[in-house]
């Protein structure tokens, strides 16, 4: 018997959308290592320019599945910032992975406030508070930061970090949206003073000498889901077995990515997809956060985490946190009730499908249909 016969796959050729980020590694390596093929799938990966493009192409069926930011299935199902579409999350692709990078000019201002010395990292946002106050007192333009999408952990982490210093993020600063691959150019061209983005774009800014990565998402939140493997609810209902096979192949890849040696291989493969050199892609994969061009890297073991105990299991509790962050950012309807929130979480988060995949994966491994390389 083959996987296709055992599972009765409804569809074998899949188009999956990804964005040029280090944490697309589970999908890239599932294809590179042949894990998709082991599960009877022929997958075409399509690099998308922005998260809005990912959303639109998934909603309209041009993509069968997609790497998405963790809050995006909630936003899609609510119809925020686009047409309403029921999107589900049955798999966390990655945890953590983001960093806040400041322009070298802004970092120099902080050093001047600190008697010419580099401040202790991770950076206390009270340094930003002083600069915000100075700009307001002197009638200067507000600091401008960028995040990658309105409904993103990047935006929420940036807001949380600044709010610790009692910065009024709705009035004291400006936050704009820029696709990940355009962040470093915007920083270099002085269009923004800093950004929150996923690797490797922080590393690229540091390598180029145009930015300093002052704090990571690991420092702001503890073990937060970052990217998920999303499909529309309709697609999953029409292709239940194919979806289980897809989840199993990616779970297998996340297990493979637990090895540091394997991550070096992943970094080499990702060069083709990200268009960046190894010294930009590899650091975060091996737990190294480059801070300044000549500075000592910070050791962040969980900078890019793809697997740990229950890391890939989508939990309703994770969704509750994201909904709370969306509410704080004024993104939810004012009349959104607790009952509506609970129903939304049940509709979007599908731990039942994840557990079904684990059962099927265990069965196929025992039968010898799946071989680990």
Asked if the structure places residue 178 within a domain, the reply is yes
* Same domain flag for 92 and 229: yes
Asked if the structure places residue 26 within a domain, the reply is yes
Asked if the structure places residue 291 within a domain, the reply is no
Report the CATH number at residue 319. Answer: 3.40.190.10
Which residue, of 220, 253, 288, is where some domain finishes? Answer: 220
Which two tokens mark 98? 């983001």
pLDDT of the residue at 373:
44
* Same domain flag for 213 and 264: no
pLDDT of the residue at 81:
85
Asked if the structure places residue 286 within a domain, the reply is no
pLDDT of the residue at 5:
58
Cross-strand partners of 73? none
d(CA 244, CA 41): 11
Asked if the structure places residue 300 within a domain, the reply is no
Which residue, of 176, 191, 220, is where some domain finishes? Answer: 220
Q: How many domains does the chain have?
A: 2
d(CA 257, CA 299): 19
* Same domain flag for 228 and 175: no
| CA angle 102–129–292, rounded 5-degree value | 25
Write out the E strands in 130-280: 144-147, 174-177, 194-198, 211-216, 225-232
* Same domain flag for 123 and 249: no
- SS3 at position 287: coil
Task: Assess contact for 34 and 63: CB atoms under 8 A.
Answer: no
* Same domain flag for 327 and 363: yes
pLDDT of the residue at 7:
78
* Same domain flag for 343 and 262: yes
Mean pLDDT of the chain: 95
Asked if the structure places residue 208 within a domain, the reply is yes
* Same domain flag for 134 and 70: no
Cross-strand partners of 229? 67
pLDDT of the residue at 4:
56
Asked if the structure places residue 293 within a domain, the reply is no
Half-sphere exposure of 162 (CA within 13 A, CB side): 29
* Same domain flag for 184 and 203: yes
pLDDT of the residue at 66:
98
pLDDT tens-digit profile, the chain (373 residues) = 356 556 799 999 999 999 999 999 999 999 999 999 999 999 999 999 999 999 999 999 999 999 999 999 999 999 998 889 999 999 999 999 999 999 999 999 999 999 999 999 999 999 999 999 999 999 999 999 999 999 999 999 999 999 999 999 999 999 999 999 999 999 999 999 999 999 999 999 999 999 999 999 999 998 899 999 999 999 999 999 999 999 999 999 999 999 999 999 999 999 999 999 999 999 999 999 999 999 999 999 999 999 988 899 999 999 999 999 999 999 999 999 999 999 999 999 999 999 999 999 988 887 766 654 4
pLDDT of the residue at 65:
99
CA separation, residue 238 to residues 9, 10, 74, 82, 218 (Å): 11, 8, 21, 24, 37
* Same domain flag for 149 and 31: no
* Same domain flag for 228 and 115: no
Q: Which domain holds residue 186?
A: 98-220
Looking at residue 195, what DSSP letter applies? Answer: E
pLDDT of the residue at 1:
38
Asked if the structure places residue 282 within a domain, the reply is no
- The pLDDT tens digits of the residues spanning 270-301 come to 999 999 999 999 999 999 999 999 999 999 99
pLDDT of the residue at 367:
72
């Amino acid at each position: 018997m083959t996987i296709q016969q055992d599972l009765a796959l409804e569809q074998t050729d899949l188009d999956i959308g990804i964005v040029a980020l280090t944490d697309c590694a589970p999908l890239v390596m599932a294809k590179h290592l042949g894990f998709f093929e082991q599960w009877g799938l022929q997958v075409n990966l399509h690099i998308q320019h922005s998260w809005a493009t990912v959303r639109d192409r998934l909603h309209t069926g041009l993509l069968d599945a997609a790497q998405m930011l963790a809050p995006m299935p909630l936003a899609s199902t609510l119809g925020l910032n686009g047409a309403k579409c029921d999107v589900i999350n049955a798999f966390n692709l990655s945890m953590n992975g983001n960093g806040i990078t400041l322009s070298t000019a802004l970092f120099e201002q902080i050093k001047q406030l600190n008697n010419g010395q580099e401040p202790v990292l991770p950076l206390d946002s009270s340094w930003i508070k002083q600069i915000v106050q100075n700009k307001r007192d002197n009638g200067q333009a507000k600091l401008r930061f960028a995040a990658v999408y309105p409904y993103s952990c990047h935006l929420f982490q940036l807001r949380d970090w600044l709010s610790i210093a009692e910065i009024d993020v709705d009035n004291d600063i400006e936050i704009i949206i820029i696709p990940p691959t355009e962040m470093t150019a915007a920083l270099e061209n002085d269009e923004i003073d800093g950004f929150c983005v996923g690797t490797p774009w922080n590393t690229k800014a540091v390598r180029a000498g145009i930015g300093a990565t002052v704090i990571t998402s690991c420092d702001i939140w503890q073990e937060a889901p970052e990217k998920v493997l999303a499909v529309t609810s309709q697609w999953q209902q029409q292709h239940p077995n194919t979806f289980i096979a897809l989840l199993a192949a990616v779970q297998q890849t996340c297990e493979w990515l637990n090895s540091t040696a394997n991550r070096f291989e992943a970094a080499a493969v990702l060069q083709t997809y990200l268009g960046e050199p190894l010294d930009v892609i590899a650091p975060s994969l091996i737990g190294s956060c480059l801070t300044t061009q000549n500075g000592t890297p910070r050791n962040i073991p969980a900078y890019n985490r793809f697997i740990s105990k229950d890391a890939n299991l989508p939990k309703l509790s994770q969704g509750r946190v994201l909904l709370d962050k969306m509410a704080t950012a004024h993104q939810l309807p004012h009349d959104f009730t607790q009952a509506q929130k609970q129903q939304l979480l049940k509709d979007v988060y599908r731990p039942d499908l994840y557990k079904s995949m684990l059962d099927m994966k265990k069965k196929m491994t025992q039968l010898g249909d799946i071989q680990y390389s």
